[in-house]
């Protein structure tokens, strides 16, 4: 979908914070609670793309390269021309892009670091809920490292190797292991209204999710130069 073509030039009430800007792409710090792309209905047109377009009205092409959940904050790259969008998207598909997240978890993982490998798929009867499914799920792999521990919580760094919807949230909350290495942490992210301790289910409130995309590294479009951007979480 060409998000740019179908999006009116809106004047947002707020602008998205710009970390780095070039003629071909910009890197932003997405606030929690802001959509990555426009949703259905006039009340859901405010998003990262519309705010970037308002700041860079000469942008062309689809613009959107990747997404963060509405509740997730952190570093995102947005393309300003079609070729840059295509090249950056291919980097995500081929796993050239490297990224890390930081989350505050309810409870504390048993190990200081490790790798979670639990296949996932959409629960079609409870959209957008994702479930672990060893028969029909797509491979999903996440590395993790405990940064600090509190009495009943832990700050954890996550590195998603694959990019499934809600992957970090499901892998943090799930306790499924089937006796094999690579099981979930059994410690949901604080404020997760879908998979957390006080989850409300699909459509329930998810404000206050303490998950932040901290670093993003990729090759600049048209070059072989790797660049990396980092913004710390606000929690």
Chain segment 187-214, per-residue pLDDT in tens: 999 999 999 976 555 444 445 899 999 9
Integer Cα distance of 201 and 84 in angstroms = 38
**Preceding amide of 128 cis, omega within 30:** yes
Integer Cα distance of 169 and 105 in angstroms = 10
- Tell me whether residue 69 is one of the annotated catalytic residues: yes
pLDDT score at 1: 46
- Spell out where 80-190 has E strands: 98-106, 113-117, 120-122, 130-132, 141-149, 153-160
pLDDT score at 6: 52
CA distances from 150 to 2, 15, 59, 154, 219 (A): 45, 35, 45, 6, 37
Residue 11 neighbours by CB under 8 Å, 6+ apart? 54
pTM for this prediction: 0.90
From 70, 51, 96, select the one nearest 166 (Cα to Cα). 70
Q: Are 127 and 119 contacting, i.e. CB atoms less than 8 angstroms apart?
A: no
Task: From the candidates 2, 6, 46, 69, give the one annotated as an active-site residue.
Answer: 69
Q: What angle do CA 227, 167, 111 make, to 5 degrees?
A: 90
Average pLDDT over residues 121-141: 95
pLDDT score at 129: 94
The number of angstroms, rounded, from the C-alpha of 159 to the middle of its chain's C-alpha atoms is 11
- Spell out where 13-57 has E strands: 18-21, 25-30
Q: How many CB atoms are located within 10 Å of the residue 24 CB?
A: 17
DSSP type of residue 31: P
DSSP type of residue 188: P
Residue 181 has pLDDT above 90, yes or no: no
Average pLDDT over residues 44-62: 94
Residue 223 neighbours by CB under 8 Å, 6+ apart? none
- Helical ranges in the chain per DSSP H: 3-6, 48-55, 82-93, 167-173
């Amino acid at each position: 979908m060409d998000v740019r073509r179908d999006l009116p030039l809106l004047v947002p009430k707020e602008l998205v914070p710009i970390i780095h800007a070039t003629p071909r792409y910009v890197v932003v710090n997405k606030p929690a609670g802001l959509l990555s792309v426009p949703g259905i209905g006039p009340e859901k047109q405010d998003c990262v793309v519309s705010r970037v377009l308002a700041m860079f009205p000469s942008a062309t092409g689809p613009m959107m390269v990747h997404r963060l959940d509405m509740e997730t904050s952190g570093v995102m790259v947005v393309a300003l021309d079609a070729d840059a969008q295509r090249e950056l998207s291919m980097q995500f598909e081929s796993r050239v892009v490297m990224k890390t997240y930081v989350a505050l978890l309810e409870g504390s993982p048993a190990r200081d670091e490790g790798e979670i490998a639990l296949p996932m798929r959409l629960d079609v009867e409870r959209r957008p809920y994702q479930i672990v499914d060893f028969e029909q799920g797509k491979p999903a792999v996440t590395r993790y490292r405990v940064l600090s521990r509190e009495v009943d919580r832990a700050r954890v760094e996550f590195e998603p190797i694959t990019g499934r919807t809600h992957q970090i949230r499901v892998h943090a909350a799930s306790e499924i292991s089937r006796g094999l290495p690579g099981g979930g942490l059994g410690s949901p992210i604080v404020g997760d209204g879908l998979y957390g301790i006080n989850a409300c289910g699909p459509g329930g409130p998810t404000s206050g999710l303490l998950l932040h995309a901290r670093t993003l590294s990729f090759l600049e479009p048209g070059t072989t130069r790797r660049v990396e951007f980092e913004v710390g979480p606000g929690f």
